[in-house]
């Protein structure tokens, strides 16, 4: 074979290989686009609050059943909002507005999309078992302080509710001389509540709506005539910029999403009873028991 023919043969082989590689590459992109998997990958950021753990795991299970690929990323509020603003996180289901997350919202709102309110009765509360018949208002605590051992069982020292009880409720209701706020953690507070309820002992705890404790125990929120615990808030779904454009069907479903106390409380309670690491199992069982709600909530996705 002459050198000229050899060069022409090599060129022909190279051209064939080139076309083959391009076709393969294009075929790969077409398959990904056709199946929709590439365009459906969603990163959901969540904070370690019971309602967010519950709703994020429920959303993951339902979206994956419909062909989406979903990644859950647990973060503190500050890096979560920052990641959402940078587009590193696609979705956040538990924005407390207008007060609790006000600073983050004001800082990043121009880079975020508010996809709507799914729960509109988020409140901070002091609560007692319903068996405590003679205490119905925060105003009643001073006269009955001895029944509670002179303490309000609180949560984490750095929690916003801790500051509100210490700086607002205690001074406004003149409780400083008769009661102290005992802080530890949410887990310790719930353990103390469980013990008190089971032994039929009075206890007053720092609590909030939504929370699974209201589903498990018979509790009552103490009236707050002075408004010391603050006004009710709304729980919003937030997306990164252009989320609505990239996921129009999912956005429409999220904008219509509404969850009530009974639904959320039972879901949270199911996850708590299942134990850490078994959230997916608990969510699957709960979804089967609440099929009508789940089918409606994620219809059209």
Per residue in 210-230, pLDDT (tens digit) is 999 998 999 999 999 999 999
Query: Which pairing describes strands 112-129 and 233-240: parallel, antiparallel, or unpaired?
Result: antiparallel
Residue 14 scores a pLDDT above 90: no
Q: Answer yes or no: pTM beyond 0.85.
A: no
Torsion of CA 268, 49, 210, 98, to 10 degrees: -150
- Give residue limits of the domains in the chain: 41-121+233-297, 123-221
Fold of 123-221: D-Maltodextrin-Binding Protein; domain 2 (3.40.190)
For residue 286, the model assigns a pLDDT of 96
Decide: 220 and 127 in contact? Cβ < 8 Å. yes
Looking at domain 41-121+233-297, its CATH superfamily turns out to be Periplasmic binding protein-like II (3.40.190.10)
Torsion of CA 18, 22, 24, 25, to 10 degrees: 140
Phi, psi at 114, each rounded to 5°: -85, 115
| More confident of the two residues 134 and 100 | 134
């Amino acid at each position: 074979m002459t050198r000229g023919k050899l060069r022409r043969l090599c060129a022909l082989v190279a051209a064939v290989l080139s076309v083959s590689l391009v076709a393969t590459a294009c075929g790969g992109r077409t398959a990904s686009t056709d199946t929709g998997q590439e365009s459906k990958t969603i990163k959901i950021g969540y904070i370690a609050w019971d309602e967010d753990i519950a709703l994020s795991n429920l959303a993951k299970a339902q979206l994956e059943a419909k062909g989406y690929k979903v990644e859950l990323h647990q973060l503190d509020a500050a890096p979560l909002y920052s990641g959402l603003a940078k587009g590193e996180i696609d979705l956040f289901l538990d924005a407390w507005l207008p007060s609790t997350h006000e600073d983050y919202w004001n800082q990043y709102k121009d880079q975020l999309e508010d996809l709507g309110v799914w729960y509109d009765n988020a409140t901070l509360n002091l609560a007692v078992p319903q068996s405590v018949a003679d205490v119905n208002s925060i105003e009643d605590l001073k006269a009955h302080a001895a029944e509670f051992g002179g303490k309000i069982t609180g949560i984490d020292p750095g929690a916003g509710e801790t500051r509100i009880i210490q700086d607002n409720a205690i001074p406004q209701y003149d409780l400083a001389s008769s009661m102290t706020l005992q802080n530890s953690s949410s887990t310790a507070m719930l353990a103390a509540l469980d013990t008190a309820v089971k032994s039929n002992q009075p206890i007053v705890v720092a609590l909030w709506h939504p929370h699974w404790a209201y589903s498990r125990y018979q509790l009552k929120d103490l009236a707050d005539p002075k408004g010391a615990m603050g006004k009710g808030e709304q729980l919003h779904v937030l997306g990164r910029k252009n989320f609505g454009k990239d996921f129009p069907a999912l956005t429409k479903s999220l904008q219509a999403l509404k969850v009530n106390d009974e639904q959320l409380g039972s879901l949270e309670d199911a996850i708590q009873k299942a134990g850490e690491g078994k959230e997916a199992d608990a969510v699957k069982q709960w979804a089967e028991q609440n099929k009508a709600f789940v089918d409606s909530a994620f219809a059209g996705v």
